[in-house]
Amino acid sequence: FDFINNLFGPATNYAALVKNGALIIDVRTPGEFKSGHIKGSINIPLDDIKNKTEELKKKNKVIITCCRSGNRSGMAKSMLQSAGIECHNGGPWNVLNNQI
């Protein structure tokens, strides 16, 4: 566990972030989102993230991204962070769902 902690830094407390108003953005396709998602999460497919960046920035909230495997949410996190938004990659939506 220490090895993982040193590699990735301390684990993010997603439950606390959500409790403090963080938005969960699911970057999967609408079809994937319909088949199951985190209650209260917002579906913005990865391809649309760039177009929604300003809108998300105006919300002035911490964002947690998620997808099926953690790959697309990682890309979305990078895009949002480069726009100056505090963002965390929550990884797979079903794993994140168990952490909040």
Q: Which are the catalytic amino acids?
A: 67
Chain centroid to CA 90:
5
In sequence order, the 6+-apart residues with CB closer than 8 A to the CB of 89 are 64, 65, 66, 70, 73, 74, 76, 77
